[in-house]
Every structure is written in C-alpha cells, then in structure tokens.
Amino acid sequence: MTTARGAGRLPRHGGPQSQSQTSAPGPTGPGAHRVDGGEHHGSPRDGGDGPHGPDGPGSTLSYAKALAIVVVAVALGVYLLSLGKGHGASTAATRTTPPSTAPSSSTTTSAPTTTVPTAAPSKSVGVLVANASHTTGIATYYSGKLASAGWGTVTPENATTVTTTSTVYYAAGQQADANAVATELGLPTTDVQPLGSTVPVVNLAGADVVVIAGEDLAAKVPASTTTSAAG
C-alpha cells in the first residue's frame, strides 16, 4: 500500500493561500472599519463626540459669542435711539420758542385811598381845649376860635403836662367831629386818637372832644392875643 506524497502536511506560512486568509485588504476610505478589532474613529457625519460635534466645546463657545454680540447690538441701538430723541426734543423746543419781542410794561399799584370821616360843626358837641404849652392864654384863644366856627365849647383848662405836639381826643362815636376840629385847627388827622385814661386833663366833664394844645399850636397864636388868664 502506498501513501500519497505530501499527504498530512501542513500548509506553509507565507504561501499564497495563507496570505489571502490573514491579510486580505478591507474597504478603504474615511468610513472604513477595521476587521481586526482596531479602534473606531467616527467622522463628524457619524455624529461622534469629537471637538466639533454638537456637544463639543466649540459649539458652546460659538453660541455664547453670538449671544453676546446680539446683546451688545441691542444695547447700542437703544442708546443711540435715546440720544436721537433727546436731541430732537431740545431742537424742537429751541425752534418752537420764539424770542419775546413784546415791550415790557410796569404795573404801578396805587395805595388805596382812605376816606377820613368828618362832620359839620355843631353846638351840641362840647369841645374842651387844654393848654399844654409854656404860653398862657392859648386855650382861651382856640376855644373862642372853635366857638366862632359853630362848635359848642367847654370852659378851657390847663393840661397837667407840656407837650410839643398837639393831640385831639374823641369820645365814643365822636371821631368824625374830632377830625373836623383837627382840620379847623390845622392839625393832621393822624393826631386824632380815641379818648382814654392817658389824656392829661383833670376835669373832662361835658367834653366830647378834647384838644391838647401843645407848643406847635402856641407858636401860631399872635402875641397880642395872649393874656394871663387861665389857659
């Protein structure tokens, strides 16, 4: 019995058959996968988590930059708009306010006129003249002058003090009569006052109006008419 040559031999390494089994070339290209269990590198199209994928740091940084640019643009637009409105308002105010050409006028306010009540001479009004000067006889002189003008008179007296300025006092309800007496004697109505306890006369019986004749009235009396009589 003969044995065939070469039966039971192992195939040689490096032969054509063994090379085709161990080193057969696989598909090539960017999406090629190694058959021998090597590393798998996905491309951006495969949705891998590479540096430029949806979840990579590059996409987050780009979004933040875009958002910052939008915010700055909006803020700048609002600022420029506010400047434009303010400038327009000031310009409009300047244009719509014409310079005043009306002549200035001064208004003069006059003081209200005060009417001083006066009365006609009456014999029923008792006028007392008291001498308050260093000149004797002036009370008698002015008492006769008032009687001649139509006033009722009371016996003249000497005042308890000497005064420089004459004063006319009046009892209640006799102010108009006192104003008329002061005018008759050439005294201003500002010297007319209501009758009170300060009148320098001891006896006021029957007096409605009291004339305190001071040095100013004494200076108007002619020297030839003064006497040594009381008053």
Average pLDDT of span 32-36: 44
* Longest alpha-carbon distance in the chain: 210
In CATH, the number for domain 126-225 is 3.30.70.2390
Is residue 202's pLDDT more than 60?
yes
- Res 75: pLDDT: 84
Is residue 186's pLDDT more than 70?
yes
In this structure, of 44-58, 102-116, 147-161, the range with the lowest mean pLDDT score is: 44-58
Is residue 182's pLDDT more than 70?
yes
113-155, pLDDT tens digit by residue? 567 688 899 999 999 999 999 999 999 999 999 999 999 999 9
- Res 62: pLDDT: 79
Is residue 110's pLDDT more than 80?
no
Measured distance CA(38)–CA(32) in Å, rounded = 11
Measured distance CA(150)–CA(120) in Å, rounded = 9
- Residue 131, strand partner residues: 158, 213
Is residue 74's pLDDT more than 90?
no
Is residue 37's pLDDT more than 60?
no
Interacting residues of 213 by C-beta distance below 8 A, sequence separation 6+? 129, 130, 131, 132, 133, 138, 139, 142, 159, 166
What are the residue ranges spanned by the domains of the chain? 126-225
**pTM for the structure as a whole:** 0.51
In this structure, of 73-77, 96-100, 136-140, 221-225, the range with the lowest mean pLDDT score is: 96-100
Is residue 67's pLDDT more than 60?
yes
Is residue 192's pLDDT more than 90?
yes
Average pLDDT of span 166-179: 96
- The neighbour count for residue 167, using CB atoms within 10 Å, is 19
- Res 107: pLDDT: 60
Average pLDDT of span 199-208: 94
Higher pLDDT pick, 144 / 20: 144
- Res 195: pLDDT: 93
